[in-house]
Amino acid sequence: MILRPYQLAAIGRCRDAYRRGSRSVVLVAPCGAGKTAVACEVARAHLDGAARRAVLSVVPRLELAAQMARAMRAEGLHVGVLAGDATVIGWAGMAEKLWCEEHGR
């Protein structure tokens, strides 16, 4: 995935804040700014070469969870999805959709 210059700059600012001691760093960006792409890059960089690291990504909607899972899987990352406050039909539909996409159906 190729990131845009402003996405790389945002990642750099977050990393700088973390290096300065901040532990609750939040990146805020408008719709269409590529937050999913940025999250994938941050996760990939964090997990690269590490056997026992994990990344938690929190999103407010099932559709965004599916989007994030698809993007991270496309980057070769192992992804699990945990959803709360979802109807069984809604969760089953999302799980089935992700399975079909992974298996080319």
Task: Give the distance, in angstroms, between the CA of residue 32 and the centroid of all CA atoms in the same chain.
Answer: 15
Q: How confident is the model at residue 39 (pLDDT cuts 50, 70, 90)?
A: very high
- Looking at per-residue pLDDT, the higher value among 39 and 92 belongs to 39
Output the CA–CA distances (angstroms, integers) from residue 57 to 27, 84, 89, 91, in the order listed.
12, 14, 23, 17
Does position 98 have pLDDT exceeding 80, yes or no? no
Domain definitions of the chain by residue range = 1-51, 56-105
